[in-house]
Structure 1
Amino acid sequence: MSQWVLREAGVQNLRLEERPVPTPGVGEIVVRVAAVSLNYRDLWFIAGDQVDASSPLPATPASDLAGTVVGVGAGVKRFAEGDDVLSTFWGGWIDGECPPEAGVLGGSLPGVLAQYVVLNEAWAVRAPRSLDAVAASTLPCAGLTAWFALVEKGAVRAGQTVVIQGTGGVALFGLQLARAHGAQVIVTTSSAAKAQRVLELGATHAIDRNATPEWDRVVRELTGARGADHVFELAGGENLGASVRALRQGGRISLIGTLGAGSMSLPSVPSFLGRPTIQGIGVGHRRAFEELVRAVDALALKPVVDQVYAFDELPAALAHLERGAFGKVVVRVAD
């Protein structure tokens, strides 16, 4: 089989290598990979920003696969050959608090950019019936992050207002899931063209933050000065202060991304008076992922995929992700 391997930091050092097809050990499954979706953390890992003693090189990047079980080891009870599955982002986080021994695929655990992958059976869930492999591969990180923030922790409900920042994978899942739960959605984006596209996807309002840098003021105007119930903070830096100012008293901010900013800053008085709940979101556990999969089928939700690349076009797919995508970038591994 073919497998992408990173032996030194830098996308130029990615190589397709030939490896034996893996065989499953006790409690393991072998998955024939159909598609892998890419995340920004894959760019950081390949650049060397997330390589440490727990994830030494050489390594195979990426965490999010959709595929079919083609082999099972002794003692496997959750899956059988022929089952369509998705990988979990966290290996070992099943429910409740994330245990210290849990690891991330494509980080401290082996990644999935290969034609065949061996997984502990606990590190997979059944794929939704309503999606093909390309669409389904977008769920393990981006889809679950939005679900965990909105539903698992945020208890989103009809009549609320949710602010979504940007038009990447997590952002567009947040838009779709919030609308499916009856919430109003305000999206901040970087261009009039993207603003139009999110309106077509169901956003209630769209704010071009380049044309209107004080987007928090517009949010308060659109909500009758009340403020938003929930903000997806995806920019970091000083933008967190704008998120606080856009929030209603007692509202919630989900810290999801930083877009290159190494820190975040808060305005003191609005933070004290606004009494916000600010919670970091590190994707989510397997139980929530299984609930997301059921919801995807029930809602007939269709993930937004910007472009699909062939398996040997990984460098081009990564370049697309780095310059910005509307939704998800996916690598098709097999037909």
Structure 2
Amino acid sequence: MTLPTTTRQYSYPQFGSFNNLVIQEVPVSSPKAHEVLVKTHAVSLQFRDLMIANTTYPGGAIENLVPCSDMAGEVIAVGEDVKEWKVGDRVCANFLQDTLHNDSPNDLGLGGAVQGVLTQYRTFPAETLVAIPSHLSYEEASTLPCAALTAYNALLSGYEPLKAGDKVLIQGTGGTSLFALQIAVASGATVIATSSSDEKLKIATKLGAKHVINYKKTPNWAAEVVKLTNGIGVDHVVEVAGNATLGQSIASVRKGGSIHIVGVLGGLGDVPAVDIVGPCIFKQLKIRGIYVGSVVQFKNMNKLISANVEATRPIIDKVFQFDEVKAAYAHLESQAHVGKVVIKI
């Protein structure tokens, strides 16, 4: 086949808003010896993408950034030294381009520290790609690199990995939260889910949550979590809001339990005016920050997904076209979505 010589892609001439995104046609080169050229079929959005646009993401981003980190695509050419991929293979790129075994001192995250994936064609180092589970569409697979892998890393790769019979608290119904719910259910755990919307909680129940709590109607939801667990607390909390809810998460977890901090949806403001250190010591808690995951974890997660096809199928709220990127960002910003927002390339 004739390889493309140009690609249409979005980029930021300046940050401040996703409305600053512009689309351009730029050259695309053939893959080097250890690279693979991929045709992008779908991209999913992250809360991180909004933070980068608004310049609130810690560490910032490179100039003239091509945004977004999560993609699924098709291999259309391979470098001369590449043995593990062939034309036609369906792949996702790992978010952290330099992290194969969680052993990198750097932070080469796509769509931030390095150019992202909101483009028709892009080369990747061969070792940073992961095969898409055969039962998933490109749109579904595009949701895996950050949201799913973060949830998997949190629950199954920590100090005390999740096991059947454990109790797990998830917050909200965004992409990472729903994947955490699905992974927990597939692993035989009992899930308690919170949200501000009864309609969203119905979806969580349908996906397997045993208990649901509307935190607007029950502001002291930690007390309800403890009550639902017979006064003990949950084994795991997947913390997506950060400082805004950490105090209640600590109150929700059992002695010796685990809190996995995966997001800052509540903002990066001051630590809440509650005693955090004391309970962490006396309850002997294991608190771990999660920053997506490695290529090896991605491959292991895909084994779990392929073995639990129905329980782990990605939840997509809405699919936008390539010329509707700003509308996709606006939909994500509205927080009206349940699950993932996807752009079809």
Pick aligned residue for 2:307 from 295, 298, 306: 298
Gaps of 5+ in 2: 1-6
RMSD between superposed Cα atoms in Å? 1.4
Distance, in Å, in 2 between the alignment partners of 1:297 and 1:159 is 22
Ranges in structure 1 where 5+ consecutive residues have no aligned partner: none
Once the 2 structures are TM-superposed, how far is the Cα of residue 238 of structure 1 from its aligned partner?
A: 4.2
Q: Which residue of 1 aligns with 2:223?
A: 217
Q: Structure 2 length as normaliser, TM-score?
A: 0.93
Q: Please, which of 263, 277, 282 is the counterpart of residue 273 of structure 1?
A: 282
Whether 2:153 is the aligned partner of 1:142: answer no
Instruction: Determine if the alignment matches structure 1 residue 111 to structure 2 residue 116.
Output: yes
Partner of 1:81: 87
Answer yes or no: is 1:326 the counterpart of 2:338: yes
Do the aligned partners of 2:102 and 2:293 also contact (CA within 8 Å) in 1? Answer: no
* Separation of aligned partners in 1, 2:286 and 2:243: 18
Where do 1:301-312 residues align within 5 Å?
301-312=312-323
SS at match of 2:27: coil
Mapped to 2, the partners of 1:107 and 1:56 lie a distance apart of 6
Cα distance in structure 2, aligned partners of 1:113 and 1:81: 21
Q: Partner of 1:107: helix, strand, or coil?
A: coil
1:52 is displaced (CA, Å) by 5.7
Distance 2:55 2:224 in 1: 39
Q: Within the alignment, does 1:72 sit opposite 2:81 as a pair?
A: no
Where do 1:141-220 residues align within 5 Å? 141-153=146-158, 154-220=160-226
Q: Distance in 1 between matches of 2:156 and 2:280?
A: 24
Residue 39 (1) aligns with residue 39 (2): no
Q: Which moved more, 1:28-37 or 1:68-77?
A: 68-77
CA distance in 2, matches of 1:96, 1:319: 33
> 1:27 and 2:34 equivalent?
yes
Alpha-carbon distance, 1:294 to partner: 1.5
Instruction: Number of aligned residue pairs: give it.
Output: 331
Counterpart selection for 1:62 from 64, 68, 71: 68
Question: Does the CA contact (< 8 Å) of 2:244 and 2:266 recur in 1?
Answer: no
Distance 1:238 1:113, change over 3 A: closer
* CA displacement at 1:234 relative to structure 2: 1.0
Name the SS for the 1:90 alignment partner: coil
Alpha-carbon distance in structure 2 between the residues aligned to 1:138 and 1:132 = 10
Q: Which moved more, 1:174-183 or 1:68-77?
A: 68-77
Aligned partners of 1:37 and 1:328 also within 8 Å? yes
Aligned to 2:325: 314
Aligned partners of 2:168 and 2:189 also within 8 Å? yes
Are 1:22 and 1:116, in contact at CA under 8 Å, matched by a contact in 2?
A: no
Q: Which residue of 2 aligns with 1:256?
A: 262
- Length-normalised TM-score, structure 1: 0.95
5 Å-filtered alignment, 1:92-103, equals 92-97=98-103, 99-103=104-108
Structure 1 position 177, deviation (Å): 0.4
Residues of 1 paired with 2:282 and 2:157: CA distance? 26
Deviations 1:257-286 (A, max 9, x none): 111421444434332221110000001111
* Contact 1:51 1:107 (C-alpha < 8 Å) held by counterparts: no
Amino acid at match of 2:327: A
Cα distance 1:60–1:299, how it changes in 2: closer, same or farther (>3 A)? same
How far 1:182 moved relative to its partner? 0.5
Contact 2:260 2:290 in 1 (8 A): yes
| Contact 1:92–1:122 (CA under 8 A) maintained in structure 2 | no
